[in-house]
Amino acid sequence: MAPLETRPEASDSVRVLNRVFGYGSFRGDQQEIIEHVCAGGDALVLMPTGGGKSLCYQIPALVREGVGVVVSPLIALMQDQVDALRALGVRAGFLNSTQGPDERREVESAFLSGELDLLYLAPERLRVPSTLRLLDRGTIALFAIDEAHCVAQWGHDFRPDYLALSELHERWPAVPRIALTATATEATHAEIATRLDLTEARHFVSSFDRPNIQYRIAPKNDPRRQLLDLIRTEHPGDAGIVYCLSRRSVEQTAEFLVAQGITALPYHAGLDARTRAANQARFLREDGLIVVATIAFGMGIDKPDVRFVAHLDLPKSVEGYYQETGRAGRDGLPSTAWLAYGLADVVQQRKMIDDSDGDLAHRRRLSAHLDAMLALCETVECRRVQLLAYFGQRGEPCGNCDTCLTAPETWDGTIAAQKVLSTVFRLDRERHQRFGAGQIIDILLGKQTAKVSQFDHDELTVFGVGTELRDSEWRGVIRQLLAQGLLAVEGAYQTLALTDASGDVLRSKRQVMLRRDPERPAKAAKTSRSARAAAVDLHPGAVPVFEELRAWRAAAAKEQGVPAYVIFHDATLRQIAATAPSSLAELGTVSGVGENKLARYGQQILDTLAATTSST
């Protein structure tokens, strides 16, 4: 696609939006961002997943003279990203370590001859002198730095190669740069700007709210069975991602789901590269498949119809949690973010921090991230309000999270806390012993177990003083004491110990308010969310048409070897089913049907509509 003009006008971006992407208007800050970059300005863009970040650099690359160079850490997804652009008629290519010499030379030649609109590079390619010399010989429209949070050191996505991207401006001072991310606190925002030398750039911060996602955090009680219940009652046949902390848990959870008749695949760094690539490709190309993964999976996944993201272990930070849950519902349809959370999660995470490499300041940062995650789990307020507040934004109670749908209670747990802390104190000071939560609870409940008898714990004055609460309720008390820093985890055996703050509670100088989980946590209706979403704005007669269009799309995607969403998103097919266009001109007015897709698929769609109508 040739550039429209050397000096772009505001109307150019609108024309590209209509002609190439098939959309009638921009959303939110998109137009302001695009026209700023088209005019040669630098930008730092914070926009939630599904908010349309990619258009903010794709359209300027098509409007400005030259090739848009996109720096992306997602080598495994570059082929899919390029396929999606080529389906729109955009001339796109990539250079990364998966290519052979001939394929690289072909892409380099296309770049130099002006036959590309967008070129995707992994950040490490910009450390290779031959790549820099190649870029020097071509005309660059802009640099887009995708997943810009990888420059910040708060989490697992940190990529040292991103730190070198600040040099882009030094080597190509006249080329505009746009850095984009879906996840950033105010501190991370500032870190990205500093590390990428974008402090003088214009910053655009959209709302991080994703109202289509229902956030729910459930007390952990046989989490795999809880997950199975979620899938069977709310998401049968839906695509989803399940996150686990360890590779072993990933394997076991995937095997468990398969044994229950659910199509699930594992994904973690311990699998060989070919298996990982095959599993990712199946997830992108097949409907209703579930991937069970470590946090290594998901960044940059453009699959729009992921209906749920489930966590079977506590994430290490709110940033990581928000980024991972944001992979659900990119198409704007109702989706679920579900987390199973329990005492063992808190104990495990505290121990991991104590055992982590790094200095005291590093461990304090990890503790601060965990404390914020625990605060989200333990809140009695709206989950969405708490999430937005973490990212420095205000929100109103959403009415669509578990705490809004079934409000938890708070209760004065000071006496219960004193009983736990007193038990820990007496074991330590009187017996010089330390134990985990299970033994503390057995003592409080007055259970005559083998371990209680072995250590004569039935002779302690606190033995049996806690019969007013059930075992599960005591676990909740200990979990929250750990979350509030009133208990600590120490040693290889994860035993409980008092903290500096414990004394005020024992001396009745500090009140301890605790959260009581609802007996029946919030749950959506027992029908597939995607089934209900698919019926939105469709009269009964249009539902079979929508399903026929989906079947046609699946066949076309299989024939071309691309994910179904590369052909059309569900939202576009629903609009086609609802409006039933009878001509190419009418079909061209549907959102998401650009010129290239109209020319390529238009008649097939009209034929499918006609066949469906005649059969009914």
Q: What is the pLDDT of residues 456-497, one digit of tens each?
A: 999 999 999 999 999 989 999 999 999 888 998 887 778 999
Residues 426, 392 share a domain = no
Angle among Cα 242, 248, 249 to the nearest 5 degrees reads: 35
Tokens describing residue 543: 């539902």
Residues 445, 370 share a domain = no
Lowest mean pLDDT among 180-194, 388-402, 599-613: 180-194
Domain of residue 484 covers: 410-516
537 pLDDT tier (thresholds 50, 70, 90): low
- Residue 527's pLDDT is 39
Whether the predicted pLDDT of 39 surpasses 50: yes
Whether the predicted pLDDT of 559 surpasses 70: yes
Contact 198, 180 (CB under 8 A): no
**10 Å Cβ neighbour count for 221?**
11
Nearest to 71 by CA among 3, 173, 160, 148: 148
In Å, how far are 118, 132, 294, 545, 563 from 303, measured between CA atoms? 21, 32, 18, 23, 8
State the average pLDDT for the chain: 89
Residues 414, 403 share a domain = no
Give me the mean pLDDT over the 562-580 stretch.
91
223 pLDDT tier (thresholds 50, 70, 90): very high
Q: Would you call 545 helix, strand, or coil by DSSP?
A: helix
- Residue 429's pLDDT is 84
Instruction: Give Dmax (Cα) for the chain.
Output: 87
Whether the predicted pLDDT of 185 surpasses 90: no
Q: What is the pLDDT of residues 443-462, one digit of tens each?
A: 999 999 999 999 999 999 99
- Residue 183's pLDDT is 76
Q: What are phi and psi of 453, to 5 degrees?
A: -70, -40
Higher pLDDT, 147 or 478: 478
**Within a domain: 2:** no
**Boundary (domain end) residue, out of 375, 407, 439:** 407
**10 Å Cβ neighbour count for 27?**
12
297 pLDDT tier (thresholds 50, 70, 90): confident
SS (H, E, C) 221-240: CCHHHHHHHHHHHHCCCCEE
Residues 331, 290 share a domain = yes
Nearest to 533 by CA among 374, 332, 288, 367: 332
Q: Which residues pair with 205 in a beta bridge?
A: 46
- Residue 597's pLDDT is 95
CATH code of the domain containing 229:
3.40.50.300
158 pLDDT tier (thresholds 50, 70, 90): low
535 pLDDT tier (thresholds 50, 70, 90): very low
- Residue 532's pLDDT is 42
Residues 446, 390 share a domain = no
**What is the gyration radius of the CA atoms in the chain, in angstroms?**
27
Lowest mean pLDDT among 26-30, 352-356, 438-442: 352-356
Whether the predicted pLDDT of 154 surpasses 60: no
- Residue 2's pLDDT is 40
**Within a domain: 372:** yes
Residues 510, 555 share a domain = no
- Residue 521's pLDDT is 56
- Residue 420's pLDDT is 96
**Within a domain: 5:** no
**10 Å Cβ neighbour count for 159?**
16
Whether the predicted pLDDT of 553 surpasses 60: yes
**Within a domain: 4:** no
What lies within 8 Å, CB to CB, of 334 at 6+ separation is 212, 214, 307, 529, 532, 533
DSSP class of residue 358 equals S
Lowest mean pLDDT among 328-342, 373-387, 529-543, 556-570: 529-543
Residues 141, 176 share a domain = yes
**Within a domain: 292:** yes
**Measured distance between the N- and C-terminal CA atoms of the chain, rounded to whole angstroms:** 42
E-assigned strand segments in 220-313:
239-243, 264-267, 290-293, 306-311
CATH code of the domain containing 597:
1.10.150.80
Higher pLDDT, 283 or 527: 283
Give me the mean pLDDT over the 558-573 stretch.
89
Q: Structurally, how many domains does the chain consist of?
A: 4
- Residue 471's pLDDT is 92
- At 336, the amino acid letter reads T
- Residue 152's pLDDT is 76
**Boundary (domain end) residue, out of 205, 222, 249:** 205
Q: What is the pLDDT of residues 586-615, one digit of tens each?
A: 999 999 999 999 999 999 999 999 988 766
- At 499, the amino acid letter reads T
Residues 57, 138 share a domain = yes
Q: How far apart are CA 312 and CA 253, in angstroms?
A: 9
Residues 395, 416 share a domain = no
Contact 304, 568 (CB under 8 A): no
**Boundary (domain end) residue, out of 171, 188, 205:** 205
- Residue 296's pLDDT is 66
Q: What are phi and psi of 173, to 5 degrees?
A: -65, -25
144 pLDDT tier (thresholds 50, 70, 90): very high
Q: How far apart are CA 284 and CA 305, in angstroms?
A: 10
Whether the predicted pLDDT of 222 surpasses 90: yes
Whether the predicted pLDDT of 529 surpasses 80: no
Residues 158, 52 share a domain = yes
CATH code of the domain containing 443:
1.10.10.10
Looking up tokens 């578990």 gives: 402
516 pLDDT tier (thresholds 50, 70, 90): confident
Contact 562, 297 (CB under 8 A): no
**Within a domain: 530:** no
Residues 224, 192 share a domain = no
**Within a domain: 526:** no
Higher pLDDT, 258 or 484: 258
**Within a domain: 160:** yes
Q: How far apart are CA 547 and CA 237, in angstroms?
A: 14
Contact 337, 309 (CB under 8 A): yes
Lowest mean pLDDT among 135-149, 264-278, 301-315, 523-537: 523-537
Describe the chain by its helix, strand, coil percentages, rounded to 5.
Answer: 50, 15, 40
Nearest to 373 by CA among 252, 245, 490: 245
Residues 220, 351 share a domain = yes
3 pLDDT tier (thresholds 50, 70, 90): very low
